[in-house]
Structure 1
Amino acid sequence: MFSTPFVLTFSLLLSVPILFLLAPHFLLPPRPLRQVLISPSDELDDLALFDRASGSSLSFSHLSTGSNPKLKIAFLFLTNSDLHFAPLWERFFKGNSNLYNIYVHADPAVNVTRPKGVFKDRFIPAKRTYRASPTLISATRRLLATAILDDPANTFFAVVSQYCIPLHSFRYVYHSLFTSSSFDLSRTESDPDLSRLGVRAKYKSFIEILSKSRSLWKRYMARGRFSLMPEVPFEQFRVGSQFFVLARRHAMVVVKDRTLWRKFRSPCYREDECYPEEHYFPTLLSMSDPNGCTHYTLTRVNWTGTVNGHPYTYRPTEVSSELIYQLRVSNYSESYLFARKFSPDCLRPLMGLADTVIFRD
């Protein structure tokens, strides 16, 4: 029989290599799954742009469409492929050139065809984008900053993708955002943002802000347990759609931010819960001005049968007047204004419905 001291000594010697083998798993943080990092040069370029936008003066630039300083909607197209529905958007914008501006951020790694018409010369200097990475935050901030600098009349900033379509005419969208006192169903008669005439004296941002998502804790932990602390405690972490319509004052909040950006640009440890573009904007605006946001989006998305985080994609055989009417229905506003996701070959049936259904309000 072995003596007790011998057994203890042998056990200790045996445990040393095991500790060396297992220590990295307990003592060191896990290795990030995503290594999509923003280069220092890209970061410096963006900071210079954001600084200019943050201190922008009220002057028009060469990109402004028209000299009449009426309030405008800036449409911000974020894409990594061709603008498949450019003809539909062309018809949407027709006859309203003094009420909107267009800005397109196209991934430079992709050979994107640049449409003519209203999209001519509307592409801004762009950088690489990767799905579910901070690069999508940067691209959106780049669009916002460019639009802020370009035209002081840009009052709303609508972020859309190449798979988005309008659900109404431009006039309906413009009226809903700027003058309708009934469009936002969450408003009350005592809302201080409504003037005595029933028009909006102070514009709200239409951005989805969720605090009770089932995956909220997993998403918060995606970068590591304490990676967002102390700036963003879990109680203030929010998620929501990356497609939104921001009022100008909130667009300024986004381009001026440095604190939260330093947190959300960090790489993730959980790939399945890493969607920075769906975390950063809702959290930032919820922390800075929760009452100035509607907490819902104006872009309809179908999450039935989602695959790898992608929403349902509509096909040509599904496009009909009934589908358009269904997509408009909202519990929060009089109607959704945009919808996604449509496959590129839906263009033909959508164009067939343009004048008789989509743009007939």
Structure 2
Amino acid sequence: MKKQLQDHKSSNHISSRLRILISVSSLVTFGFCIGLVSSLYVRVGFPCAQTKQILFRASPPRPPPSPPTLSPPRVVQDRSSVGKEGFIGPNGYVKPGNFMHDMEDEELLWRASMVPRSRKLPFKHAKKVAFLFLTRGNLPLAPLWEEFFKGNEGSYSIYVHTDPSFDWSSVPKSSVFYGRRIPSQVVRWGTISMLDAERRLLANALLDFSNRRFVLLSESCIPLFNFPTVYSYLINSTEVFVEVYDDPGPNGRARYKSILKPAIELRQWRKGSQWFAMDRGLAMEIISDEKYYPLFQRYCRPSCLADEHYLPTLMNVRSFRGTANRSLTWADWSKGGPHPARIGRNEITVELLQRMRNGSACSYNGRPTRICFLFGRKFLPNSLSRLVRLAPKLMDFGGS
């Protein structure tokens, strides 16, 4: 009996040791597996989720997504402006391209504001005058301007902003105005839309580095001198031609809006003719103005007449000193009213044109001169025939 009890205890001891051995073996095996997986993770660098997916995934891997379809690059048609490596060459910055681009105002002004302001360019180019025509439709005095520009190609650029509804295809291909229209919008007199149009004209002209002077004109304007005289006067001027003055009356300070404070105080409010002649520096200031122009857009309603006040006020608040403080465009205000007198065929005489050309006294580059106006305005379409007849002799078109 005693022997049987001893044999039973011995059997239980062996079973206990066997269970311990099996448990230890299981732990060792499990630890080995863990170590193997950890080693694979460290060596290959897969994240845990990817390791599980690689080791235990039963289904085949998904195919990679197809690469996105890319649009072909835009082909540049004007090879004269593109270098051997496809970069834009010097001609691309001074040779006018297609004016009818698809840029909205915001992009156009941004692009123009990025144009270098340096007067010196790393390549030779002719200095040009940009003639900016702000019109309601056609150009009834175009034949006179054709004679003015004839023989002076390469010294000028032309930009036309007209009503979008006007059919510009009626302009003949032989005209200097052909293809010179820029993307335009409707303009209403006395509203901010007129200034929007002026900024579009300036921005488009600024894209051409060779444009050094910018002159705003209308369809009723005429040149009073031949092209060489006008060109020399503008290019060699040390000042810009913007009229700036303080008008304390009902057509000046009375148009001021107190809501413009504190950015613009009443004492800073100025007035002047919208018909300017300026350089690149001032043109850049106008198209990149993000402080004062939005105020005029928001608060300067028709009674304010933004086209007569924005530019003079801007120059005053920014203390711009390089202005001759006069316009180069003659107009007859002797009859009073909000608009100058219109000049028809019967009013045009040699004496009238001579008075426009030499009937005033002013200074040019610090010296006295009798040439104070280069252009005249408010000429009716029926004045064309007499102007064309008088111009060759009186204005010396085609001469130097």
TM, length-normalised to structure 2: 0.66
Q: Secondary structure at the match of 1:159?
A: strand
Structure with larger Rg = 2
Tell me the equivalent position of 1:341: 378
Tell me the equivalent position of 1:140: 198
Which residue among 318, 322, 335 is the counterpart of 1:305? 335
Q: Name stretches of at least 5 consecutive residues in structure 2 with no aligned partner.
A: 1-102, 118-122, 364-368
Q: Secondary structure at the match of 1:290?
A: coil
1:282-333 Cα distance to aligned partner (Å, 9 max, x none): 11123234311111100001112244x2210011011111111111233324
- Equivalent pairs counted in the alignment come to 281
1:237 has 2:237 as partner: no
CA distance in 1, matches of 2:171, 2:198: 19
Tell me the equivalent position of 2:24: none
Q: Is the 8 A contact 1:85 1:162 kept in 2?
A: yes
Aligned identity (percent) is: 37
Which AA in structure 1 matches 2:156?
Answer: Y
What is the CA distance between 1:218 and its match in structure 2? 1.2
Tell me the equivalent position of 1:85: 141
Tell me the equivalent position of 1:13: none
CA distance in 2, matches of 1:213, 1:341: 27
1:71-111 Cα distance to aligned partner (Å, 9 max, x none): 11000000012111111111111111111100000011344
CA distance in 1, matches of 2:296, 2:278: 20
Which AA in structure 1 matches 2:239?
Answer: K
Tell me the equivalent position of 1:164: 221
Tell me the equivalent position of 1:259: 291
What is the CA distance between 1:115 and its match in structure 2? 4.9
Q: Secondary structure at the match of 1:291?
A: coil
Which residue among 287, 297, 308 is the counterpart of 2:317? 287
Q: Secondary structure at the match of 2:133?
A: strand
Distance 1:301 1:111, change over 3 A: same
Which AA in structure 2 matches 1:142?
Answer: R
Q: Is the 8 A contact 1:157 1:245 kept in 2?
A: yes
CA distance in 1, matches of 2:104, 2:147: 35
Tell me the equivalent position of 2:389: 352
Q: Is the 8 A contact 1:324 1:358 kept in 2?
A: no
1:268-290 Cα distance to aligned partner (Å, 9 max, x none): 56x5x431111111111232343
1:153 has 2:182 as partner: no
Q: Secondary structure at the match of 2:321?
A: helix
What is the CA distance between 1:235 and its match in structure 2? 1.1
Q: Name stretches of at least 5 consecutive residues in structure 1 with no aligned partner.
A: 1-43, 59-66, 180-199
1:115-157 Cα distance to aligned partner (Å, 9 max, x none): 54111100000111100000000000000000001x1111100
CA RMSD, Structure 1 to Structure 2 (Å): 2.2
Which AA in structure 2 matches 1:220?
Answer: Y
1:71 has 2:127 as partner: yes
TM, length-normalised to structure 1: 0.73
1:316 has 2:345 as partner: yes
Which residue among 168, 178, 193 is the counterpart of 2:235? 178
